[in-house]
Amino acid sequence: MDIRMIVLDMDGTLLTTQNTLTERTIRSVAACIDRGIAVTVATGRVFHSVLPFAKELGLSDPLITANGAEIRAPGKEDALFYRPIEKSLAREVLAFFREKGWYIQSYHDGRLFVDQADDRAKAYGRLTFLEPEPLGEALYTMDMEPVKLLSITSSPEEAVSVRKAVQKHFGGAIYAAVSNKLFVDMAHPEVSKAGGLRFLMDLEGIRRKETMVVGDSENDIP
C-alpha cells in the first residue's frame, strides 16, 4: 500500500537544534509533495508559530497544531477544528502552577501571555516567533479560553515530575505531556496529536496504513 500522507513532528524531528530547516529537509518534503503525497505537521506549537515553516516548506494541507487543539490550513482564516481549554479549568491550572511556584504561559488567538517576560519567556518567544506579553497577576485571572498552556522546566527530570504532578492533581481533566524534553504541554482533555491526525485522515479519506508519522517526544505517542 502506497503512503498518501506524511505527518511530521517539528521540534526534535523536522527542525534542527538551531530552530531551522535544512536544505535537505526542504528538498525531501518538496519531492514528496511532487509525488502527490500530502505532507503536514503535528506539533505542540500553536498555529502562528508553525506558519513561517509551513510557508518555507510549501505546505498546503491542514496543520495539526497545539497538540491537536487547532487544525487549520495555511492561508485560511477559519480553523477546521478548534478545542481550547475551558476558562474555569484554565484558571484552576494557572492557580495550581502559581501555588507551586512553577513557570507557566498561556496562548490565545496567536498571542503568548506570561507573568513576567523573563529569560525563559524571551527565549521561548525567539524560538516560536511569538512576542511574550507580560500580564503580571492578571495572567491568573484571564477571561479567555487558551488553546494551550505550557510550563518550561530546567531539566528533563523536572519536566516529567511536573507532568506527573499535573496528572495526579487533575486526573483526566486536562491533557498533559512532555515535549522537547523541557516543556510540559497542557490542552483540552479531548485533544491530542493522535486525535488531530484521526480528524485529518477522516477529512481527507486517508487510511491509517496509508499514513507515515514521525516524532520524538511523549506527545507524539498515540
Strand partners, 65: 70
Local confidence band at 77 (pLDDT 50, 70, 90 cut-offs): confident
d(Cα 215, Cα 220) in Å, to the nearest integer?
5
- Mean per-residue pLDDT of the chain: 93
Average the pLDDT over 46-61 and give the result: 95
Local confidence band at 200 (pLDDT 50, 70, 90 cut-offs): very high
| Confidence (pTM) | 0.90
Q: What percent of the chain has pLDDT over 70?
A: 97
Q: What is the pLDDT of residue 218?
A: 59
Q: What percent of the chain has pLDDT over 90?
A: 87
d(Cα 129, Cα 139) in Å, to the nearest integer?
20
For residue 120 the three cell numbers come to 525563559
Q: What is the pLDDT of residue 221?
A: 54
Give me the domains of the chain, ranges plus CATH numbers.
Answer: 5-82+191-220 (3.40.50.1000), 87-187 (3.30.1240.10)
Q: What stretch of H or E contains 148?
A: strand 148-152
Q: What is the pLDDT of residue 12?
A: 84
pLDDT digits (tens, 9 = 90+) for 144-161: 999 999 999 999 999 999
d(Cα 17, Cα 142) in Å, to the nearest integer?
33
Local confidence band at 206 (pLDDT 50, 70, 90 cut-offs): very high
d(Cα 84, Cα 50) in Å, to the nearest integer?
18
Our measurement of the distance from residue 36's CA atom to the centroid of its chain's CA atoms, rounded to an integer in Å, reads: 26
Q: What is the pLDDT of residue 216?
A: 74
d(Cα 66, Cα 50) in Å, to the nearest integer?
10
Type of residue found at 82: Y
d(Cα 65, Cα 112) in Å, to the nearest integer?
15
d(Cα 67, Cα 103) in Å, to the nearest integer?
20
pLDDT digits (tens, 9 = 90+) for 7-45: 999 988 999 989 999 999 999 999 999 999 999 999 999
pLDDT at 101 over 90: yes
Residue matched to cell numbers 485571572: 141
d(Cα 156, Cα 184) in Å, to the nearest integer?
10
